[in-house]
Structure 1
């Protein structure tokens, strides 16, 4: 194939036109600032991609090549290249319009639903995913909600033909909503102890104990709910414990020890900094809740949510960022800006990037192939005109998922261009 050199102006049009139609087997992205994802940065770097896999990471100034060696060469001088950002613990792909019940497919009836699988409900045609992808979010841990045990999440690409094609890792873990030790009525400023907390905790632990007891029993009469949990107890899948309060986290850590759970993860963890030493000793990572939130308690410092990543980083606790909360599917596009906030409150730029790339992949068990720009990993990455952690700078110039070009536009940018011409601009 004849070598193709792109200027930036024709790059976006070319990428859009070849989406899903043309194969680019050998691609060279040159002269960009490379944010590797593992803390390293190359100020002027080149990335070589062959058949969807990264085969070359070099300093452009120290690398010479023959143009005939590459099918496609893209000069990204002045741009930034990042590993694809990862959105953990998200209903993205399971909901389209939160106010329309028929478009919400993340909630199941019942208390214990470990057998529910988000993977097969993932909607690749979602317009919301399209708008999130152009901000650099290229992988999603699509996650069910509801009940005490919500079900199984799966890691999905943000561009695909169907859920089979989009699956990065199926059924990576089971999500448990740990009962809250405290309660607060709407409009009441006083937090009160949850009088039924111990009963709720005993009920959940009894369920997990029974499920573990049936792990090695091959009986067709074993309830499907128990069978679904067996891989978590053998260490093939992760337990994601959703909890924020110190009482919850301490009780979870006790359960982890008692039941010998191999891969536990705390999701939320607003007060995790108070038990950071225990988390570090037990090597339990935290998926930190939405940073753009109010503090958990009225007497907490107002900037505590912003500083939480830095506090855990200083304590040596592994963490990544996630965006659970109101309108979380749509707001997943703000994931890079959560990392930007963490950068403003203590993290370095590369540490902030790691919190939404490699650290997330390590926690979810896919770092062998994703999360950083390193030789041997899948070419799931994107370029941005400016810093992707800033709203003005986050403008996608090129997007690749598993080495395939993906459009850098969405229906919102198309409408912007359409109506911009109305006034002759």
Structure 2
């Protein structure tokens, strides 16, 4: 058992404890109270969190950690399969290397959960997953797989295939190819369901089976969309096929905030701690998260690692606060909001009884630049301890 006592606990579940304690057993949170009395006969490890901030482990809702490794060049880059624009059957599970050094940076920043998958060079890039940041075997680290299907609009896709002198070279072609793929996947689903209903044999198609969780609503389309027109195209197509959707990057989202709110879809905003080096990111601004939140849109904040380093997730959230986002909402954007958008809030994202014991402990507000991560806990086990805290 593990007891965190006397901390400034932000549960992200609607309540706070200025001096609270958390009891953990068998990887789960079993009790949260101001004071927890323990049987003296029980073997309990105790963390004295007095004067510390205790939060749920942070969540990065959109990144490429482990699938685009640091300092490895082409050999460590498995992010984009640029040989075909439609590759829904690819699985992030087969491309992520847990040995990527960036996982340590995540742990040392209090980041316990990440949404990872293919990049944005293809119209359909493949299947994403949600995983914990501690471990050596990817299968043991996964929380949800598949967790989303990556689709992309705009500049990246156009550039990739313009260089190959093949379709899609325009936004019209990107939308048309995605519609065609969804149309064929829908026909496949209907045909399979009809065969099963009539007890007929059915030959499964590997390249279409991967669409069934999307069409059933189990997982969303994860849409790379920076420009306002691309955001609206993503919404238009998702509505046409009655699909769930997350709007990832959403750089010009503030220009169409009312329309995004009306769609009911959430936004994962960022990266903003980078240069405006593309036409579609010319209006990138830290004001966007605050403006979207004020419109009533659920937001998460992303580094898009390695575009911005994953350990700078709290810095990105802090800049959003500086530009108008409410402080608590900024914390929610990298904890419970991110968990809800990634469909893993039943396990992570808040400190609640029954949830995974994924917790980050800081010596102050994690959105302040000088704050240090003291402990990172995943599944009830201390996986990171600051040097000055080590025995």
TM-score range, shorter chain: 0.7 to 0.9
For residue 196 of structure 1, report the CA deviation from its aligned partner.
3.0
> Which residue of structure 2 aligns with residue 318 of structure 1?
298
Q: Secondary structure at the match of 2:118?
A: coil
Question: Given the alignment of the two structures, is residue 82 of structure 1 paired with residue 60 of structure 2, yes or no?
Answer: no
Q: CA deviation at 1:39?
A: 5.3
Separation (CA, whole Å) in 2 of partners of 1:79 and 1:124? 30
- The residue number in structure 1 matching 2:117 is 143
SS of corresponding position for 1:217: helix
1:8-58 CA-to-partner distances (Å, cap 9, x unmatched) read: xxxxxxxxxxxxxxxxxx221001111212454321111111211111111
1:308 to 288, 297, 303: 288
CA distance in 2, matches of 1:58, 1:301: 48
1:323-402 alignment runs, 5 A limit: 323-324=303-304, 327-328=306-307, 331-393=309-371, 395-402=372-379
CA drift at 1:389:
1.7
2:246 aligns to what?
A: 265
Q: Any residues of structure 2 matched to 1:88-237 within 5 Å, and which?
A: 88-98=61-71, 100-108=73-81, 109-145=83-119, 146-180=121-155, 196-218=170-192, 221=203, 223-237=205-219
Shift in CA distance, 182/239, structure 1 to aligned 2, threshold 3 Å: closer
- What SS is found at the alignment partner of 2:150? strand
SS at match of 1:160: coil
- Once the two structures are superposed, residues 125-166 of structure 1 have per-residue CA deviations (whole angstroms, 9 ceiling, x without a partner) of 222211221011111111112321111111111101301111
- Count of residues in correspondence between the two structures: 371
- Write the distance in 2 (CA, Å) between the matches of 1:232 and 1:141: 17
Q: Is the 8 A contact 1:28 1:70 kept in 2?
A: no
Which residue of 260, 268, 284 corresponds with 1:287?
A: 268
Q: Once the 2 structures are TM-superposed, how far is the Cα of residue 64 of structure 1 from its aligned partner?
A: 4.6
Q: How does 1:29-48 map to 2 (within 5 A)?
A: 29-38=4-13, 40-48=15-23
Structure 2 contact 261–296 (Cα < 8 Å) conserved:
yes
Point out the structure with max Rg over C-alpha: 1
- Does structure 2 retain, via aligned residues, the 8 Å contact 1:181–1:247? no
- Structure 2: distance between partners of 1:95 and 1:256: 28
CA contact (8 A) 2:123 2:157 kept: no
User: Residues of 1 paired with 2:223 and 2:278: CA distance?
Assistant: 21
Answer yes or no: is the 8 Å Cα contact 1:288–1:321 preserved in 2: yes
**SS across alignment from 1:30:** strand
- The equivalent position to 1:249 in structure 2, one of 226, 231, 237, is 231
> How far did 1:221 drift?
4.9
In the alignment, the residues of structure 1 paired with residue 143 and residue 91 of structure 2 have an alpha-carbon distance, to the nearest angstrom, of 14
Matches for 1:40-59 after TM superposition, within 5 Å:
40-59=15-34
User: CA distance change for structure 1 residues 181 and 93 in 2, over 3 Å: closer, same or farther?
Assistant: closer
CA separation in 2, counterparts of 1:38 and 1:341? 24
Q: Any idea what SS the aligned residue of 1:102 has?
A: helix
Instruction: Give 5+ residue unaligned stretches, structure 2.
Output: 160-167, 193-200
CA contact (8 A) 2:149 2:221 kept: yes
Q: Distance in 2 between matches of 1:77 and 1:267?
A: 38
Per-residue deviation, 1:66 = 4.5
| Separation of aligned partners in 2, 1:181 and 1:105 | 16
Cα distance, 1:314 vs structure 2 = 0.5
State the distance in 1 between where 2:360 and 2:95 align: 26
CA displacement, residues 106-132 of structure 1 (integer Å, 9 cap, x when unaligned): 222321111111123322222221122
- The answer as to whether partners of 1:98 and 1:104 remain within 8 angstroms in 2 is no
- Tell me if the contact between 1:38 and 1:354 (Cα under 8 Å) persists in the aligned partners: no
What is the alpha-carbon distance in structure 1 between the residues aligned to residue 72 and residue 137 of structure 2? 25
SS across alignment from 1:96:
coil
Q: Could you state the TM-score of these two structures normalised by the residue count of structure 2? A: 0.87
Question: CA 1:269–1:127 in structure 2 vs 1: closer, same or farther (change >3 Å)?
Answer: same
In structure 2, distance between residues paired with 1:239 and 1:293: 25
Given the two structures, how large is their TM-score scaled by the length of structure 1? 0.80
Listed one character per residue, the Cα deviations across residues 232-268 of structure 1 (whole Å, up to 9, x for unaligned) are: 011111111111112112222222222111x211111
Q: Matches of 1:75 and 1:122 in 2, distance apart? A: 36
CA RMSD of aligned residues (A): 2.8
Is this contact kept in 2: 1:283–1:317, CA < 8 A?
Answer: yes
Report the counterpart of residue 164 of structure 2 in structure 1. Answer: none
1:84 shift after superposition: 0.8
Q: CA deviation at 1:363?
A: 0.6
**Which sections of structure 1, spanning at least 5 residues, go unmatched?**
1-25, 185-193, 418-425
